[in-house]
Structure 1
Amino acid sequence: MRFFGIDRALVALACLAGLLGVALSAAAAHIPGADSLKTAAQFLLFHAPAILALAGFAAAGLARPGLMRLASGLLVLGLILFCGDLSMRAWLQHPLFPMAAPIGGFALMGGWFAGILGALVPVRRV
């Protein structure tokens, strides 16, 4: 198994998502009515292991590396937009930018779809 720079970056970002998920869970437990922070924390914690797995599949050559890296990248982008928007709304009372959460949601769905393709399209063996 060979880890490329992109794989290391995706693993680091997955770990950051887990860290932020724990931090937002703790913050939401102490802020009354922080439902959007709870949602953001859940999304971060649910997707962090998925990003780790996709990056691992890519690095190990168990699935199409390009599609798995694309899937991981879309999940990271989706988390930044979706969770970033929910967090900004909770703490600063304004969105990250208009339509950030829906765009992030579509990026997350795209990431899962790319993961499906990466798993189903056979790996080329040379």
Structure 2
Amino acid sequence: MRLSGIDRALAALACLAGLLGVALSAAAAHIPGADSLKTAAQFLLFHAPAILALIGLGAAGLARPTLARAAAGLLVVGLILFCGDLAVRTWLQHPLFPMAAPTGGFALMGGWLFGMLCALVPGRQRT
């Protein structure tokens, strides 16, 4: 089982999400009223292993690699927009851009939908 460059990049981004989730959890513990940072941290920490699992399923042939990459990519984009918007709102007191969080939320839901397709559409049999 070899990971493609895209798979490696997505795995690295998943690990970055985990790292940022821990960092935001720590920051939220020290900033009074930082509920948005807590939410962002939770989203990052919940989705990081899901991204890694999707990449692993695709690389192992248990899911279609293109579906797994699409699902993981949507989760990454969703995290950037949703969690990025929450963090920017907390620290800079303005949104990342209008509708960033809802757009990120829809991307996250799309990622989970594609993840469901990974489970329903069998991987290609290797001969």
Q: TM-score band, normalised by the shorter chain?
A: over 0.9
- Within 1, Cα distance between the matches of 2:118 and 2:49? 17
1:106 matched to 2:106: yes
Structure 1 counterpart of 2:72: 72
SS at match of 1:46: helix
Structure 2 letter corresponding to 1:79: L
Q: Structure 1 residue 60: deviation in Å?
A: 1.1
State the distance in 1 between where 2:41 and 2:51 align: 15
Which segment drifts farther, 71-80 or 58-67? 58-67
- 1:16-55 equivalence runs, <5 A: 16-55=16-55
Deviations 1:35-85 (A, max 9, x none): 000000000000000000001111111111110100000000000000000
How far the C-alpha of 1:125 sits from its partner, in A, is 2.7
Over the matched positions of the two proteins, sequence identity in percent amounts to 83
Q: Which amino acid aligns with 1:53?
A: A
State the Cα distance separating 1:123 from its structure 2 match: 2.0
Number of residue pairs aligned between Structure 1 and Structure 2 = 126
Specify the SS of the correspondent of 1:63. coil
Tell me how far apart the structure 1 counterparts of residues 122 and 18 of structure 2 sit (CA, whole Å): 30
The equivalent residue for 2:14 is 14
Q: Which runs of 5+ in 1 are unaligned?
A: none
Contact 1:64 1:119 in 2 (8 A): no
Give the aligned partner of residue 84 of structure 2. Answer: 84
1:96 aligns with 2:96: yes
- The RMSD of aligned alpha carbons is 0.8
Cα deviations by residue, 1:77-104 (Å, 9 ceiling, x for unpaired): 0000000000000000000000000000
Which structure 2 residue ranges, 5 or more long, are not aligned? none
